[in-house]
Structure formats: C-alpha cells, structure tokens
Amino acid sequence: MSVIAVERIKLFSTRSPWWCMIVAAVLSVGLSALLTGLAANDDVTVFFTQAGVSLSRMVIMVMAALAITTEYRFGTIRTSFQAIPNRTSMLLGKTAVVAGLAGLVGLVASFGAWAVGTVFAGSADMAIDTGAEWRMVAGQGLVYAIAAVIAVAVGALLRQSAGAVALLVLWPLAVESLVSLIPKVGDDLSRWAPFANADSFIIQAQDFGAAAGEGGMGTFALSPWAALLYFAAWAAGLLAIALFVTNKRDA
C-alpha cells in the first residue's frame, strides 16, 4: 500500500493530471450540451450525450502516459527505482493509481455528460433503462481504466512523452482505420483491433442504427463483454511486455 500512496502523491504533485481532467470534463460535457441542444427532441437519445466521451478518453490516455514518461524526462525515475528496488512493484503501483483515477474520470465524464444532456434535451426520454444504455454510460469507467493501462505500458516502453502521446492519439484515430484499407484481409483485421473492440463494448445494441438488431453482433467480432475482455487482454499483454523491458534495461 505504501507504493500506491507514493505513486498517488507523485501523480497529483504535477499539473498535467489536473489539466487533463479539466479538459476531459469540458470536452464530454460541452459536446453533450451542444449536440443535445441542437438536435430535435424526438431524435435525442442517451447516445447523443456520450459523443465527447471518446475524445475525453484520449486526453486521459495522454495523462496516463505522461505519468511515466515525465519521470524518464526529468530523471526522477532513477530515484523511484532506488526508493523501490522492485521495479515491477513500482510500475504496477503506478498503473493501479493511474487506472483507478482514469476509471473515476470516465464515470464522471459519462454521467456528467448524460446529466447535462438531459437538461438540454427538453422533453426527450433520457432515462437509462436498458442494459445497453447502462453499458454506454457506466461502462465508460471500465474502458477508461483499461485504456489507461495501455497508455502507461506504451509510455514505459517508449519513455519519450512526444512519441508515446503521438502513438496513443494516432492508434485509435488513424492506425486502426487504415488497417481496413489492406486488400482482402483489412476488414477482418480491423474488427480485431483493440480500440475497435472497446468501442464495440460501448456501442453494441444502442438505439442509433449502428448495430444489427436487438443485441445483434452485426459487424462486430465479439459480443460486448467478450470485446471488453479482449481489450483488457491487450492491456495486460502490453503491460507484461513493459514490465519485462523495464526490468531488463537501464533507467
């Protein structure tokens, strides 16, 4: 528990987590108010309120990566390793703190966006009634936490803030989309991309025409909860590689 306490103090002693959390909240709540306010009441669903949450997730991934890369940038990682010689313990403690904070921010962002959207939606029915709607709102916390684990692993592997941030932004936005352009196998490969499955967990069976029927699989490779487990497996695999590399190379 002392490792957790130390990592919590280190995380909140810098400004970047605070700024990232503020930006994440503004993006999710602001876009929710904008879209629900401009849309006709009859067209507004819970889905409308969550339009900015995926952008907020990227901001939190940046925060998670910076939590490790800034230590390498300023050389404080050496002090951390001297204070906690067990590098695995240190990195796991940092990951737990960052993932926990990311999950909390995800819940605040999603429920905050839904609450603000409900105000701007007027007479539209914004109640969270179905399992799919609960997954879209409450499930954001799980996705944020797992995405933060991936971000910490990438940061530990690259050790450079610019490179880690660029990869984490381009991976879900561009790389996974470009995979679908590969002839013959692109569409099949893109269905197994990690962030595509994270989105699959969130959006399957929502009432906006993206999924095939009541709980249907449509173009998704896995069912919602299997997709989340697949996304978590990517996070666990990357973290395992990061732990191995961190223990093998010099700080």
Give the per-residue pLDDT at 191.
87
CB 208 within 8 A of CB 47: yes
Give the per-residue pLDDT at 213.
38
Angstrom distance (rounded) from CA 56 to CA 65:
14
Which residues make Cβ contacts (< 8 Å) with residue 121, sequence separation at least 6?
36, 41, 44, 48, 49
Give the per-residue pLDDT at 5.
86
CB 204 within 8 A of CB 196: no
How far out from the chain centre does Cα 75 lie? Answer: 27
Mean pLDDT by 10 residues, the chain (251 residues): 83 88 91 81 78 91 94 87 87 95 95 89 78 91 97 95 94 85 80 92 68 48 92 97 90 63
CB 44 within 8 A of CB 86: no
- The model's pTM: 0.90
Give the per-residue pLDDT at 234.
97
Give the per-residue pLDDT at 131.
86
Nearest to 48 by CA among 135, 110, 131, 138: 110
Query: What is the tally of structural domains in the chain?
Result: 1
Nearest to 14 by CA among 55, 56, 57, 73: 73
Q: What angle do CA 146, 62, 172 make, to 5 degrees?
A: 65
Distance set, CA 205 to CA 141, 146, 195 (Å): 19, 22, 18
Q: Is the dihedral of CA 115, 121, 125, 130 positive or negative?
A: negative
Q: How many CB atoms lie within 10 A of CB 161?
A: 18
Residue 38 buriedness (CB in 10 A; 0-12 / 13-18 / 19+):
exposed
Angstrom distance (rounded) from CA 169 to CA 196:
14
Q: How many CB atoms lie within 10 A of CB 98?
A: 28
Owning domain of residue 128: 2-248
Angstrom distance (rounded) from CA 230 to CA 194:
7
Angstrom distance (rounded) from CA 233 to CA 238:
9
Q: Count CA atoms within 13 Å of residue 23 on its CB side.
A: 16
